[in-house]
Structures are given as structure tokens and as C-alpha cells.
Structure 1
Amino acid sequence: MEPQSNGGVGHSTIHESAHKHVRGAAEYVDDLPLLPGTLFVATGQSTKPHARIVALDLTAVKNAPGVVDVIVQADIPGKVDVAPVYSGDPLLAGELVEFIGQPIFAVAATSFEAAQRAVLLARIDYDELPAQLTVEDSLAAHSFVLPEHQLLLGDPDTSISTAPHQLSSEIYVRGQEHFYLEGQISEARLTEDGGIHVVSSSQHPTELQKLVAEVLAIPFHLVVAEVRRMGGGFGGKESQAAPLACIAALFAQRTRRPVRYRMPRRDDMVQTGKRHDFLNRWRVGFDDEGKLLGVDMLLAGKCGFSADLSEGIVDRAMFHADNAYFLNNARILGVRCKTHTVSNTAFRGFGGPKGMMAIETIVEDIARYLGKDPLDIRKANLYQPGADETPYGQKIEQHVLPALIERLEQSSNYRARRAAITAFNKTHRTLKKGLALTPVKFGISFTAKHLNQAGALLQIYTDGSLLINHGGTEMGQGLYTKIQQIVASAFGVSVQRVMVSSTRTDKVPNTSPTAASSGTDLNGMAAKDACDKIKADLIAFAVEHFKLDAAQISFVQDQVVLGEQAMSFAEFIKLAYLNRVALSATGHYRTPKIYYDRAKAKGQPFLYFSNGAAVAEVTLDCLTGEYKVEQIDVLHDVGKSLNPAIDIGQIEGGFIQGMGWLTTEELLWDQQGRLISNSPANYKIPTAFDVPEKFTVELFDEPNLENTIHLSKAVGEPPLMLAICVWSALRDACSSTTDYQFSPRLDTPATPERIYWALQECAEFIERKAKSEVKANGNT
């Protein structure tokens, strides 16, 4: 049991920057005072999706007012490729361009406006090449950025062919724009020893350090990457922030002046990757009760022109194509489609949401085919003891969902509401209501094993204040607050004594990105390890100095209890210093147990699973396809919560972002490969008006079985997928027009237009059925 601490672990401690956010005092990169002589960057972009550059005339660009320097690929002194994993992402295009918006050259000017005007003066001639713009194009051409990968459990072909019932279909699930409030930005300045200090809005400072060093052809130790906070990231600043840092650093090295590169919103939306589109095709065999007997799936991700992080993203889609259900016999094939569009990248949930949409579509289609409530089909197929092996060979050891779903079903009055909604739909022709309860089981760990590690540096000063530095980055999710609480609890002091400093590569090296919901799991354990080392030395000192047993020493409420006496924490620390006790330590943590044999497609890629379920109720207008989300009820599993208020906030925010992905946020390209949804005017994220008036979130308080930080569970990504219940409720409302006998295809996002088309499909089903009945009666 940890020492008592004011505001420590388990308390709803306020976000460490909350007051700064409200006052406008929280500093983001573009808030930093401009250094004398600062230059500003813009890039010249391709206007063709796939072409060779045959002529590039930058004379007018170089002579434009305010322009100080212009660079092309040939001006890069070191590595040209800034890909995060596999090659294929040139910092600036050379002879070949592979998407509209790809940077070809960059300009540094004395003002942001001057740089923006100058890039428009370039003259570029192209030799156009054939372009693949869609997943279907890629599949037809067998064109992929990486080899396919397959998971196999049992004998799906035989199981499907011999099953009492079979179904097959597909769903197209569009991607999502990150739409962080703070756009991509980096600032770079030269240091006195010829190095570079980069301040960036990035989820991955170590990758920035590495790539900047490689682009400039200098050692890693000459580059310091620093991140204090981001105005949102959602995965969009994991790999996509690096090119800005590299270009800013290159100009800083060339001009010996500070450089700031801030992307305008439109450039950001055009030039940076998004959540992948997925085409999911499947066939399934099942019995009379709706029990899954065999599943065969194709998950085809739209990767863009390069691999970026697509290997792990499609892998995670495959790992989560079972969601909460035992598939019995399964084949899950993942393909990574090459298209001449911007390379898609990490997004909250990675590929998990796309895989889950496949199985949730299957479950609903089975329910309508058998004339059952989809919830009953979901419950019948949940993982449980004896039916607990995933398609990748990992056993489910903590069966949370059966009890969690049962509790939510009762607390949300699901059955009574289902009966009331069915009655409502029978008596209302224009308005229809829908209801759905959907689960989430989400694996926690990076799928790349080496990323599952973290470091921390803890320093205690002689006034009793503590400074902790770790490898995680703060993007509003409350990571710094939770680390602050973990350190405070370790020493039984108030959180006000603990300061978390900016993430810097010269304090903690070789950090992993803050992603995969692992920020607190990894960095919290590393911070605790550093605390434990100092605390062990302090206790050893106290044992010797005060002639006590270790059991007589405790840290409670800003005091150190030493047998029958006590002294303030600050006094004790000063005494320890005077006796030459080390008051700084590094901590390290690596996730145990995890492994994955890619050749065998078997292993334990996740340490544990976070779980949850949500109920959505919607009302739609059958004449227009417009709808309203009336009520949401969420019950979510976060283990032993480190900070209930922050966890509930993450669940609420993740849910609404997921609802946007599935209902309003529509990525669109024209037939030439140009992004249409390139501004807030034509890309609709949810607003306050989209949040349902009735929105209840409760935490399912069950400790993690794994030895995570204070037995907590990750909360960053899993809540996004709870929003699948909204899509399911909309489909339920559409199905009610057929007396729940038919599930229309409902690709996402389920905009009013798509809802209208789904209703038309339902009407066609009714018409076909009526004709069939007339024909049957006539034959009789």
C-alpha cells in the first residue's frame, strides 16, 4: 500500500496545466517569443498525384521579397528519407512525386506571409504517370506497400461450409482527419557547438532527434528535441511531426538563424496522413443460436504512397477483428494498399477501430438474419473460460466483459427501452428510433516489442521539492498529472511538491512515442522505479542514522515518520543531503511477457486488455436521413483508476471523437487525387451541439490482474471505439423499417445522405419481399 499523499494516486486531482489553459498562460510552440532574426518556412507542393518532374524553375521564388533561402532535395546534406520504419518518405521529392501536396522545395523567408507568397511563383513541368487512387485500384493491380499478413485459427473454410447458416458482405470504413487544435509546428535554432535545439509539437521526440541528426549528417548527441505540450495529437504527431523539424533544422544550419515552420491548416490537412480507410470483406458461418462457427475476413487498408506506420496499423486491425468475441475458426488477411495519396498514419486506436467494425457488422447481420436482438448475439459470442483463444494465439485471462455488459444492460434499462422503442417504431412512420449496446476489448502494448520500454529521471532538492522528467509527451490527456501523482504517492507528499519538466532527449534518451495508450503504463512505471531507488537509499540512511528498523519508517502526508518521532519531508531530505545520500536516480521499465512470432502469426502481443461497453439511443427522420443522438450510457474498465476525473474526461472525449469518425467526419478526394475535405468548411468534426444531453459515464472498478502501475489500465484509445454503438443504433433504426428483418449496408461515416441510401435499400427489401409473397401466394 502506497503512502498517503494529498492529491496522489486515486484522487481526482486537477490537470497540472488546467489553470494555465483557462488563463491562456500555457505556452505552445507558436506562443514562444520570437528570437531575433527568426525565419519562417513554406513548401512548394506537387499538383499531380503521380508524375516525374521534368523541369523545376525556382528563379522567381528565390527573387521574391523576403526570401532568404530555398532548398530542394539535392541540398540535403545527409539522409533524404525520413520514414519512421520502412524507407519511402523523402523529406523533399526528387524526380518523382506520388501525391498531390507532396513537398518539392522549401522556402525560408522573413515572414510567414512572404514564404507563403513565394512558393506560388515556382514553375514546374510534369510528365504524368498512371495513378492508383482507391483501395479497389490497389487490389485490382495487386499493388501494396508491404507484404500481406494472415492470422489463422482452426479450419475456417470447413467450418463455414458446413455451418447451418452462411452470410457474406463488405463494409467500407472511411478514415479520419486528426484535426488537432494546434497544427503541426517546429522551431529550430543552432547551438554554440554546431548542434540543433528543436522545440516541436510531437509525440515522438526521440524520432525527431534521430531524423534531424541524420538529415543534417551530425551525431545524435548534437540534437536536443524538446516538447512541453501539444494542443492535441491523436497519433497525427507521432511520425508526421518529423519532416517539419527536419526542414526547420536544415534551414537553421544553413542560415545560422532561428527558424519556425508552422503549417497553415489547409497545408496540414493536405500534406499530413490521416486514419486509414479500410475495405472489410467477410464471410461467416454460424448456428441457429447465432454462435460463430467460422469467419473469413479481408481487411484492406488504404496506406497511401508509402508504408509509414501501416504495418503496425493493419496488424492491429487484424488483432482487433475479433473485438470481444471468440471466433472459433478464423482467417484474417490484412493487406496494405498502395495509393497515390498522402501516406496515412497513426490515429487514436491505431487500426483497432477498423477491425472492430468488421466483426460488429457481422454480428448485426447475423442477428437480423435470425430475427434476434443483436445484444443477444453479442453476449452469446463473448470470450469466456473455455472459449478464450484469440486468432493470434493469446489467451484471454481476465474475463471482464460478461459482468460489465450485464451491469450496463441493467443500469441503462436496455430491455425496457428496447421494448418501448420497438413499440414506438410500429406507430411512427416518419421518425424511427434505434438502440444498441456494443462492447470493446482493446489490447494494450505497442505491437513493436522494442517500443515497450521507458525511462525517467527524478531529482529531489534540499527544500523537499521534486522534479521528474520522463519520455512521455503531454497532449492534453493528463499524462503529466498522473506522473505527478505517482511520484507524490511514492513519497507521501502533496502533488504541489512535484514538478514534471518538459520532455527532452538530453534528459531521458531513446524514448518511445506517446502512443498505443501506453504513456502512463510505461512512463509511470519508470518514474516509480526511480522513486523506489531513492526511497530505498533514504530508508537505509534513516535505519542507520536513527537506529531503527525499516518497518518503523514511513512517508505520510508530507512527513517522514521515524519510529516515535516525525519530521517534515523537507527537513528529512536536507538531513539526507548533509549525510551525502544520493537524491537523484534514473528509472527504467520494460513491459514483461509480450512477444509475437510474425512467421507463425502467434504470440502474446498485449500485456492485458482494456474493456468497456456503451449504449446509444438515436432518433432519425426517414424522409431526410437526419438524426439525433438522444442518450449515451458508458461503463468502462480502467482497472484501479489513477485519477477518476481525468479518466472520465478521456472517455467522454474519446467517445465524441469516435462518434465524429463514424457519423460526420468524411474524408473525400476528387477523381484527380486532390483532397476535397481540406478545411473546417468542408470537414465536420463534432461540436458541443452534437453531444447528447443525456451522457452518463461510469467506471467499472476492478483491479488489473497484471502488475501495472497501481493496477490501473490504459484509457487513451479504447473509449473511441465505444462510439460504434452510435453507428449500430443508426443501423438499428434503419432496420426497424423492415420490422428488423434486414440490415442495410451502412458505410461510414453514417452521414444523413448515407442513412437515406440505407433507408432506400430497406425499402427495396420490403418491395422484393412483397413481390416474393405475391408470387408465392399466386403459386399456391
Structure 2
Amino acid sequence: MIDETRIQDRGAAGEPAPAELGEQPPGEARAIRGGVSAALAHDSGAKHVSGAARYIDDDPELPGTLQIFIAMSERAHARIRSMDLDAVRAAPGVAAVLTVADIPGQNDYSPVFGDDPIFPPLEGEGAVVQYVGQPIFAVAAETLALARAAAKCATIAYEDLPAAIDLDAAIAMADEAGEDLLPPHEMRLGDAEAVLKTAHQRLRGRIEIGGQDHFYLEGQIASAIPGEDGDVLVRSSTQHPSEVQHNVAKMLGIPDHAVTVEVRRMGGGFGGKESQPALFAAVAALVAVKTGRPAKCRLDRDDDMVMTGKRHEVRIEYDLGFDADGRIEAVDFAHFVRCGYSKDLSAAIADRAMFHADNAYALPAARIHSRRLKTHTVSNTAFRGFGGPQGMVGIERAMDRIAFATGIDPLDVRKRNVYPAPGSGTGPASTPYHMPVTDSVIGEILEELEASCAYRARREKIAAFNAANPVLKKGLALTPVKFGISFTTSHLNQAGALVHVYKDGSVTLNHGGTEMGQGLFTKVAQVVAEEFQIDIDQVKITGTTTGKVPNTSATAASSGSDLNGMAAQAAARTIKDRLIDYAVERYHVPRDQVVFEANRVRIGNAEKRFSDLVGEAYLARISLSSTGFYATPGISYDRDNARGTPFYYFAYGAACSEVVIDTLTGEYRLLRTDILHDVGRSLNPAIDRGQIEGGFIQGMGWLTMEELWWDEAGRLRTHAPSTYKIPTANDRPDDFRLAIWEKGENRSETIYRSKAVGEPPFMLAISVFSALTDAIIAAGDGRAFPDLDVPATPERVLAAVDSVRGAA
């Protein structure tokens, strides 16, 4: 029955009367444009390639905006005896020169341990710099050129102190002091030492795994605008707005609520914008508050590469026991992790290297020991994979060694050691941290990829090619990936979202995740569109801000879609339930007869437009806004005993790569790569394919060409595109075959049963490194296994070829 009084009252307020239910039955089935599983383009894809996407440096500057230059240490380890900045302050255009003395709160921007000073103390024993590039003071001037020129007027007297630049020096320094930068950690499964003593075969080895610069296209940048009552608005290119908010607030000595941090998008992050941006945001905010003027701190490429952290360099020593069939009996890994001058996120990163020391293989007995070491170089930090890639390189190197020692094809060795599938009759095997692997599909993926890429036939063709070619040698390798998904620091596995539905049926979405080019915003918008059954263009994506969703975790650990998708779904479902409740009461139908369909809602035997139902609910004073929250269930880890369930599930994949090397120069080409990767039920196949391909290429760069080099004085010499080589389009294999595993479905209750796709594909590139090893073995006619470290640059490949050819 129509309530005419209510309609009249609404009309008096200038609102149209609600559209009543039609009597006709619903029409043909419709589909929304852009719900879950649709292969949509990235929401900013066209803007990226056209230059229309706005980043922080593209925002119009307010009148009076100051430009900041951060002056850096020229010494790796030295005491500051004196510093005269009078000439800096007197230089043309300078508005402020700031040092540690100007910080009203805590002089720290660290993520965890409190050991990252914004500026070094200038008095007492603490007046020490610990790496070349460490910030010492900041100059704010009318232009960046004036600020940079003024900084050169400083007079600083140093007293050099002993400096540890590389891992050998770090180990020696730690052994002499009797203390590492962070306490060592160990995982144990069974009695590896005892098993190794009785193993059928045993071998030992070592591999050096280099670091990697993030080389995001948009460098580090932050701007700050002072507000009333000491408030400050910060725009920061950051993966972790809440951490930036907290660090700026504690530096200024004000509550978190006085600082708002915003970011619409980043031009790449890869982990380099997780903990690092807090420094630049803090400096910009300090200038803004001290001067009362807007301020911007934007690094150029050289300064960015010198000043910011890298992927951790790791040395892995391994001791393997195995039988004649190539099955592992026991392993003993020793990890030596180069952390840099401070702790940063090294504890969790080194732990994750240990968590992934098994990769896809069920190890009957294992001991993994990790040391975290200090060097007087920039503090290393998060990078895609967060230590996992380094740990996985160790076990894959071991697999290649076992294959060489037994004469068994490397793929067969790998297949004989992978975690068994559920229901295989062998029961779930446990990881070295005692977590049963109950979702393994890696055996099936390996079998499918082996067949689809014609691995065996290509093996034979490559052997024939190598026999006929004395100079060029080909190699082939097929390697698996098993990667744990969750933050291993359990409390970080949470997310919030905010959804508004406006009275015309349009929607705005905000959540704690950040967009760095990976397509997170598109995927979460698809979730909301799917929940309401509306077209994707009805969902407005908005930038991340701490003023809307508080206390968020970093967009990292491949958890962006898992966490924020579930939070957004929760918010949308709250609003959807209110709309259903309204329809039930208004139209006297059971709840199960209120069904959301494509841009419409079926109520009983009739239907109306989604926007009409929303308009009615607004007039009926139904709340059309809701927060949503999600916390990953069932995860915990007892670090003291190295036992628990740190991951909600595992992501799986495999890649087969074929290379050719020139044995006279060490140069090589990646000829073909086949990838089969499990993303569960894909939220967006187009974006997932882009992440898989991009991750693989970035991993290939780390493993084969991206080389960091410090001189004896601790100066980074590879600090620009002219000296630091990243992959280009020409390094992509001409034959690149990528498939999403059609059988994929997450056994855990994730958002629409999807799986994370940010980090796992990075490790698919290990197949390239193993293929290079295979080609080098062929160059030596199978007489010796090569010593080859990461990155496998042409120089290292050539040295390895010379070594195997010189073997007796």
C-alpha cells in the first residue's frame, strides 16, 4: 500500500516521489559492465601513457611554496667535529636551514626500532654519520637550484671512523664486537645435522645474492601545507600513509590526528616507498611548520639512489644431503644478510628469507640459521618479495647442484621434492617453521607447464644445438614458486574501507590501500561494483587519506587486494543489507526475494532501478554510508620457537626459460619464457597478467643485470641510469607465453576466492638464472658445475664459462 503522506512530505522537500514497483516480470538477464573477473584496463592506464595521470609533483604549487634540498654526508662512518652553516643561511633565496636542533619532537623516522635519525646529533658521542648520503641538514629556498647551491656553502669537519662496507667486513666487525645488528634467528625441522652425517650423498656450496634498486619512475617526494592549530597536510608518495602520519606527528610532537597524509597514486613503489618516505615527509612538514609556508621535498634520481635503501644482499651457504634419486634428505642453510647502517625492516625481511628457504620443496629435515649484519651503507629495506626471493634462490641453486651431482634432469629433481598435493595419500608435509602445507598444487602446475612448453623435446633440441655450436650455448630450466601470503607480523593483517552511496545511485570508494601502478584501486572498485551489481563507472575511486580510513597497514606483502577488497566488500554489504531491510519493510516481501541484478533490484516479482531504490532509501532516512573492516583469520606465529601459521595461504606458479650465451663475451639473450601461474579466481585477468609479466621482468633484472657497487670509501657508484642497468623492452623474450592457471581457486576464504599476484611472479625469473647455469654447464661439456652469483652479469657469465672450461 502506498503511503501518500510520506510521498507528499518528501515532495514538499523538493524531492521526487519514489518510483513504485512495476507489475511486469523482470526482463532478460543483464550483466554489469566491469564486475569481478572482468578483464578491465587499469583505471589510470590511459592517463599513464598519455601523461594525464597527476602525481604529487604535478599538483599546482601554492604561492610561496619552498623547495627543499637535503644535504648529505660525504663519509661512510665519521664523527662530526664541527659544522658551520652561517654561509648557508646567508645564501640567496634561503628561507630556512634546519638541523636536529629544530626538531620539536622525536628525531626519528624509523618504522620499528627507533634508530633512523632524521638528522644526526651535532654534539657528543652521537654526532656520527653512518653512510655516504645520510641526511645532515635541510635547506629550504625559493627554488631548488638556490637550495642546492646554498648547501654547498656548509663547512663540515669530519673525523673518520672504521667503516664496514661489504659483507666480509660486516661479519668481521660483528665477530669482533660479539654482536650482530639484530639477533640471529634459527628454524629447525627434525635433526638436520644428524641426517647430514648419514646422507647418501652430501655437498656444500655458497652463493652471493646481490641487492637491487627499486628504480621507481617517480622518485621520493613529499609536500606539506601548514594549517590551523599546528595541523599539517602532507602529500607523500608512500605505500604506508599511516606510518608517515605517525612519524611526522612524533617528529613534530603533536597527536596523529593533527597530521593528514594523502596519496592518489605513486609512479611505482616495489617496497621502496614503505618505510623510506617518512624521512622526506618529516622534513617537508618540519619546514612547513617552522616557516608557515607550503614546502616540497623532491629528490632527483642520483640523490634518491644514494639516499634510499635497496633490496638486501644475502650470502647463502648450504649443506645438502640427498639420495641417488635426487631426493633431499636434509639441508642446512646459513644466511648472512647485509642490513645497512640501521635495522629498518630487516628483521622481518630476513625472517621471510628463512620462511621461503624451502620454496616449493618438502624438506624432511632442515636447519636455517640467519645472521643480520651491519654495514656503513644505506639501510636496506623492503623490496618486492621482502626477502623471499633471496631465500628461494638458495634452494633452487641447491636443486641445480643435486641434478648435476646425480646426472638427473633438473626438472625431475624438482618434481621429486615438491610438496605433495592434498589427497595424494602422503599427508601434508610441514615447512621448516612447522606449518602444514595443505593447499599444494605445484606438482600439477609443473606437469601442465612441462607438457605445454614441450620441455622434453626442447631439451633434446638444445642438446643437439650445443653439440653443433662451439661458441653459442643454450640452456633451459623450469622452476616452481610457492610463496606465502600474509604479513608475517600478524597485527598488520587488517584493513579498513569507507563506502558512500549517493542518492542518485553513484558510489565513492576509499580504503587504506595505495595505488602504485599495480591496479589495486581497479580491483577493489570491481568488488564494490559486483556487490551492488552496478556498472564500474558508477564507482568513483578516490585517493588514500588518513583522514578517511585510519590506522592502515602498508600496501605490501601482496595483501592489498586480499585485505582492502574484503574491507570494501564488508562496507558495501552493510549498505546493501540496509537497502534490503528497507525493501522488505516497504514492499512486504521476504528477504530472499530482494535480489540485486544488473543495475536493478528485483523485489518479489517486479524490479526497479538501483538508483531508484537508493533514492527511496534516502528519503526514508536510511544510512547510505558505511565503514568496513577486515582482519585475516587463523594466522599466528611464535617467533621464539619458530613455529606457527604465518601465512593464510600459498600462491603457486612455474616458469620455463630458454637462454643462449656467447661463450666469447659472456653476453646472453632470453629466447623464450613460458609461465603458468595460479591467481585463484582472478579478480581481473588483464591486471593479473600485467603483474605476472612485470614481476617476471623485474626479477630477471635483479638476477641478471642490476648490479649495485660501492667503492672502498662507501660511495655508491651505480647511482643513475648511466651506471645502473635495468631491463628494457629489448630484454623481454621475443617468445613470451603466459597463462593463468584455469583450475585456480583459493581454498581459503579470500575475496571471491582470488589469490595475491603482486610478489609471487617475481620469483618466476629464477628460471632464467637456472637456464644460464645450464648453458654454462654445456659450455664446459658437463665437466664442472659453475660458480655463478647474482646478478649473473655478462662478466660473471664469462668468468664462469672460463672456469668450467678450465676444469679438469
Equivalent residue for 1:136? 168
Q: Which amino acid aligns with 1:267?
A: D
Alignment partner, residue 117 of structure 2: 90
Question: Which range is displaced more, 387-396 or 19-28?
Answer: 19-28
Within-5 A mapping of 1:261-280: 261-280=297-316
Match status 1:9 vs 2:36: yes
Using the TM superposition, give the Cα deviation of residue 300 of structure 1 relative to its aligned residue in structure 2, in angstroms: 1.1
Whether contact under 8 Å (2:525, 2:541) holds in the other structure is: yes
Aligned mate of 1:551, from 575, 592, 609: 592
From 728, 733, 745, the equivalent of 2:787 is 745
SS at 2:498 equivalent: strand
**Equivalent residue runs for 1:684-699 within 5 Å:** 684-699=725-740
Q: Distance in 1 between matches of 2:69 and 2:676?
A: 46
Q: CA contact under 8 A between 2:219 and 2:299: conserved in structure 1? A: yes
Task: Specify the code of the residue in structure 2 equivalent to 1:633.
Answer: D
Q: Structure 1: 5+ residue runs without aligned partners?
A: 769-780
How far off its partner does 1:4 sit? 4.9
Q: What is the alpha-carbon distance in structure 1 between the residues aligned to residue 592 and residue 211 of structure 2?
A: 56
Q: Within 5 A, what are the aligned runs for 1:6-85?
A: 6-85=33-112
- CA offsets 1:91-148 (integer angstroms, 9 cap, x no match): 0112110001101111000001111111111111111111111111122232522100
SS in 2 for 1:394: coil
Q: Give the counterpart letter for 1:533 in structure 2.
A: T
Tell whether 2:147 aligns with 1:115.
yes
Aligned equivalent of 1:774? none
- CA displacement 1:536-564 (0-9 Å, x = unmatched): 11111111111111111111111111112
Q: CA deviation at 1:357?
A: 0.6
List aligned pairs for 1:570-719, cutoff 5 A.
Answer: 570-701=611-742, 702-719=744-761
The C-alpha deviation readout for 1:408-462, integer Å capped at 9, x for no partner, is 0000000000011011111110000000000000000001111000000110000
Deviations 1:190-212 (A, max 9, x none): 11232000011000000011011
CA distance in 2, matches of 1:87, 1:194: 24
Counterpart mapping for 1:722-741 below 5 A: 722-741=764-783
Deviates more, 1:28-37 or 1:2-11: 2-11
User: Corresponding residue for 1:406?
Assistant: 447
Where does residue 106 of structure 1 map in the other structure? 138
Paired with 1:514 and 1:364, the residues of 2 have a C-alpha distance of 35
**d(CA) in 2 for partners of 1:376, 1:141:** 43
Q: Distance in 2 between matches of 1:647 and 1:750?
A: 28
Distance in structure 1 (CA, Å) of the matches to 2:361 and 2:611 = 53
Match for 1:611: what amino acid?
Y
**Per-residue CA distance 1:233-292 (angstroms, 9 max, x = gap):** 000000000000000000000000000000111110000000010000111111111111
In 1, distance between residues paired with 2:161 and 2:731? 43
2:120 maps to a residue whose letter is: A
2:22 aligns with none
Q: How many residues align?
A: 765
Matches within 5 A, 1:303-318: 303-318=339-354
Residue 396, structure 1, aligned to residue 428, structure 2: no
In the TM superposition, residue 764 of structure 1 has moved relative to its aligned partner by 2.1
> What code does the residue aligned with 1:78 have?
G
Give the counterpart of 1:757 among 778, 799, 802: 799
Identify which of 538, 541, 546 aligns with 1:497.
538
In the other structure, the counterpart of 1:424 is 465
- What is the alpha-carbon distance in structure 2 between the residues aligned to residue 116 and residue 472 of structure 1? 35
Cα distance in 2, alignment partners of residues 353 and 723 from structure 1: 10
Structure 2 distance, partners of 1:82, 1:48, is: 21
Q: Which residue of structure 2 lines up, in the alignment, with residue 302 of structure 1?
A: 338
Contact 1:371 1:740 in 2 (8 A): no
Secondary structure of the structure 1 residue equivalent to 2:196 = helix
Q: In structure 2, what is the Cα distance between the partners aligned to 1:761 and 1:286?
A: 26
Alpha-carbon distance, 1:515 to partner: 0.3
Deviation at 1:60, TM superposition (A): 1.4
Q: For residues 315-394 of structure 1, what are the structure 2 equivalents within 5 Å? A: 315-384=351-420, 385-386=426-427, 388-394=429-435
2:194 aligned with 1:146: no
Match of 1:198 among 234, 250, 256: 234
In structure 2, the residue matched to 1:157 is 193
Equivalent AA in structure 2 for residue 141 of structure 1: M
Looking at structure 1, the residues matched to 196 and 451 of structure 2 have their Cα atoms a distance apart, in angstroms, of 34
Q: Answer whether contact 1:3 1:491 (CA < 8 A) is retained.
A: no
Any conservation in 2 of the 1:371–1:741 contact (CA below 8 Å)? Answer: no
Residue 723 of structure 1 aligns to a residue whose secondary structure is helix
Partner of 1:628: helix, strand, or coil?
strand
* Secondary structure, aligned partner of 2:474: strand
Q: Is the 8 A contact 1:541 1:576 kept in 2?
A: yes
Q: Is the 8 A contact 2:428 2:436 kept in 1?
A: no
| C-alpha distance in structure 1 between counterparts of 2:234 and 2:550, whole Å | 15
- SS in structure 2 of the partner of residue 368 of structure 1: helix
| Partners of 2:783 and 2:804 within 8 A in 1 | no
Tell whether the 8 Å contact from 1:3 to 1:554 is kept in structure 2 after alignment.
Answer: no
Shift of 1:25: 1.7
In structure 1, distance between residues paired with 2:250 and 2:440: 47
Gap runs ≥5 in structure 2: 1-28, 122-126, 421-425
TM-fit CA distance, 1:742: 2.6
Shift of 1:3: 10
Tell me which residue corresponds to 1:771. none
CA distance in 1, matches of 2:105, 2:452: 60
Q: SS at 2:614's partner residue? A: helix
In the superposition, the TM-score normalised over structure 2's length comes to: 0.94
Rounded Cα–Cα distance in structure 1 between residues aligned with 2:712 and 2:94: 35
**CA drift at 1:584:** 0.5
Amino acid at match of 2:46: H
Indicate conservation of the 8 Å contact 1:3/1:489, yes or no.
no
For residues 453-510 of structure 1, what are the alpha-carbon distances to aligned partners after superposition, in whole Å with 9 as ceiling and x for unaligned? 0000110000100011100000000000001100000010000000121100010000
Q: Could you list the per-position Cα deviations for residues 375-407 of structure 1 after superposition, in whole angstroms to 9, with x for gaps in the alignment?
A: 110001001143610000111111210110100
Q: What secondary structure, in the 3-state scheme, does the structure 2 residue paired with 1:193 have?
A: helix
Partner of 2:251: 215
Change (3 A) 1:198 1:655: same
2:763 corresponds to which of 721, 725, 746: 721
Structure 1 CA distance, aligned partners of 2:277 and 2:601?
A: 45
Instruction: State the alpha-carbon separation in 2 of the partners of residues 652 and 318 from structure 1.
Output: 26
SS where residue 126 of structure 1 aligns? Answer: strand
- Check whether the contact 2:70–2:135 (CA below 8 A) recurs between aligned residues: yes
**Deviation at 1:20?**
2.0
1:22 Cα deviation from its structure 2 partner:
3.0
Letter in 2 for 1:128: D
Rounded Cα–Cα distance in structure 1 between residues aligned with 2:718 and 2:50: 33
Equivalents in 2 of 1:97, 1:66: separation in Å?
28
Contact preservation (8 Å) 2:780, 2:801: no
DSSP 3-state at the match of 1:667: coil
505, 526, 537: which one pairs with 2:567?
526
* 1:775 alignment counterpart: none
1:17-53 C-alpha deviation (Å, 9 max, x unpaired): 1222233221100000010000001111111111100
Using the alignment, how far apart are the partners of 2:779 and 2:196 within structure 1?
30
Secondary structure of the residue aligned to 1:121 is coil
Following superposition, the deviation at residue 15 of structure 1 comes to 1.1
Contact 2:428 2:438 in 1 (8 A): no
Aligned equivalent of 1:290, options 326, 332, 340 = 326
3-state DSSP class of the match of 2:152? helix
In percent, how many aligned pairs have the same letter?
53
Asked if the contact 2:671/2:735 (under 8 Å) is kept, the reply is: yes
Q: Which has the higher mean CA deviation after the structures are superposed, 81-90 or 134-143? A: 134-143
Which residue identity lines up with residue 60 of structure 2 in the other structure?
Answer: P
